[in-house]
Amino acid sequence: MSETLKFAVLPGDGIGPEVMDVALEVLSAATKPEGISLDFSSADVGGIAIDNHGEALPESTLEVCRAADAILFGSVGGPKWESLPPKEQPERAALLPLRKEFSLFANIRPGLLFPELVDASPLKTERIPDGIDIVCIRELTGGIYFGQPKATRTLEDGQKEALDTMIYKTSEIERIAEVAAVAAYGRGKKVCSVDKANVLETSVLWRQTVTEYFKKNHPDLELSHMYVDNAAMQLARDPNQFDVLFTENMFGDILSDEMGVICGSLGMMSSASLGVSQNRFDKPFGLYEPAGGTAPDIAGQGIANPCAQILSAAMMLRYSFGYDAIADRIGNAVKKAVQDGVRTGDIAFGKTPVGTKEMAAAIIERL
Ligand code: NAD
């Protein structure tokens, strides 16, 4: 049966359009032989949208996203727009509203470091002889970043006092636990839930809810719990003890960045943010993007690493369209190209670097 995948393409700024172009070529080469066609609409977002439409996320771009089953996002921002008021700057004015519009509550970041690239990690290579292969899942719409009240006031003695509210309810905890479970079934069936249940009320509820949810719904998965301070240490000591790691918003913000650092190059790091609504494929609507930014230092030179964007496109196939086998094939082709020594400058380590297009062509050859 021939199927059509309808998604929005938002390349953004800097290296965004360069890596997006080739990611679409890889996506097309991987899906065409399966009789799948791609129906994508491109729209401006970020700095280029400010230039062309006066705002980072114009209504016309939102319309393109609403009509789609997923969003493939590049990255936004750059020096040209840094003097704008913070609220109007590309990242804040485009990504945050997109997260809100589509209730993107689950951020999935693979922590993947191929054995051939272990030199890119600040960890000692003997700790990660086989590279790193874990997944970090972060709750994205709740917790202390969004909890109300949030305020600063002046006390009677003249001091100032500020307040943030950390708040979670069971339904929010259960839906992120489900995302972690789904991810674990596709991997090593091991889930570690991270909290601070020795100190925080929200964490006590988190731990109880997660324990009950897995007991009832996923008794075949191996569930463990870890305090966040220990998790931060364990990630640096022995990251591969984890398979799927999942946690609340602020802890996930910090742990996923730590994971990014130990996994080396930003050019290899993909991510997905899943929404609450289901698309026409009965899968979560999602936004898929590289973890890195617009890399203004190398933009326009055709030398950016497209792997993060390509792997983000593969995540879109997996999570929003249900094509796990094609996603695996793309992931393996990226791995094979890197193993065969085809490398962009950021991961070259003494090898002669290739450009963005050559890297993508090598991946297509290995599909
Ligand atoms: P950055 O991720 O753009 O760059 C950091 C370093 O990593 C640079 O040396 C860059 O060349 C390198 N790098 C990143 N991606 C690469 C790739 N695919 N291939 C090769 N090298 C790569 O971070 P920054 O310099 O702090 O930010 C630059 C701009 O990007 C800023 O305007 C920032 O606001 C924006 N930004 C956007 C997003 C997003 O859209 N989600 C995320 C982070 C930063």
Q: Give pLDDT tens digits for 315-329.
A: 999 999 999 999 999
Q: Is 44 annotated as catalytic?
A: no
Looking at residue 57, its pLDDT comes to 97
Percent of the chain at pLDDT > 70 equals: 99
Tell me whether residue 145 is one of the annotated catalytic residues.
yes
75, 261, 310: residue to mutate for ligand 1 pocket, most atoms within 8 A of CB: 75
Looking at residues 255-283, what average pLDDT do you find?
Answer: 93
Pocket test for ligand 1, best of 21, 57, 83, 91 (most atoms within 8 A of CB): 91
Mean pLDDT of 358-363: 98
| Average pLDDT, integer, range 307-320 | 97
In this prediction, residue 265 carries a pLDDT of 80
Q: Is 164 a catalytic residue?
A: no
pLDDT at 86: 87
Which ligand 1 atom lies nearest to the CA of residue 290?
Answer: 41
Write the residue with the smallest CA distance to atom 11 of ligand 1.
295
Give the pLDDT of residue 119.
87
- Catalytic member of 253, 328, 336, 357: 253
CA-nearest of 94, 85, 86 to 55 is 94
Element at 362 (helix H, strand E): helix 356-365
Is the Cβ atom of 294 under 6 angstroms away from ligand 1?
yes
User: Which DSSP state fits 198?
Assistant: T
pLDDT digits over 117-143, tens only? Answer: 998 899 999 999 999 999 999 999 999
- Of 362, 267, 260, nearest to 312 (Cα)? 267
Lowest mean pLDDT among 89-93, 203-207, 358-362: 89-93
Whole-prediction pTM: 0.93
Report how far ligand 1's centroid is from the alpha carbon of 77 (Å).
Answer: 9
Q: Which of 6, 80, 145, 328 is catalytic?
A: 145
354: left (phi over 0), alpha (psi -120 to 50) or beta: beta
What pLDDT score does 264 carry? 82
Q: What is the mean pLDDT of residues 93-106?
A: 93
Query: What is the rounded average pLDDT of the residues 350-355?
Result: 93
Half-sphere exposure of 248 (CA within 13 A, CB side): 31
CB-based contacts of 250: which residues, under 8 Å, 6+ apart?
A: 143, 144, 145, 166
Task: Report CA(19)–ligand 1 centroid distance (Å).
Answer: 13
| Cα 356 from Cα 75, distance rounded (Å) | 16
Confirm whether 323 is a catalytic residue.
no
Residue 1 confidence (pLDDT): 52
Q: What average pLDDT score do residues 229-250 get?
A: 97
Helix segments in 218-348, DSSP class H: 228-237, 249-262, 307-319, 324-339
For residue 307, give the ligand 1 atom closest to its CA.
Answer: 18
The neighbour count for residue 236, using CB atoms within 10 Å, is: 15
Percent of the chain with pLDDT over 90: 92
Half-sphere exposure (CA, 13 Å, Cβ side) for 61? 28
229 is a catalytic site residue: yes
As given in the structure block, the two tokens for residue 18 are 């360069």
> What tokens were used for 136?
């970090």
Q: How many CA atoms lie within 13 A of 165 on its CB side?
A: 8
Average pLDDT over residues 336-363: 94
Q: How far is CA 333 from CA 84, 101, 144, 366, in A?
A: 41, 34, 40, 5
Average confidence (pLDDT) over 26-46: 97
Q: Is the dihedral of CA 362, 334, 319, 173 positive or negative?
A: negative
Mean pLDDT for the stretch of residues 83-99: 92
Containing 138, the helix (H) or strand (E) segment is strand 132-139
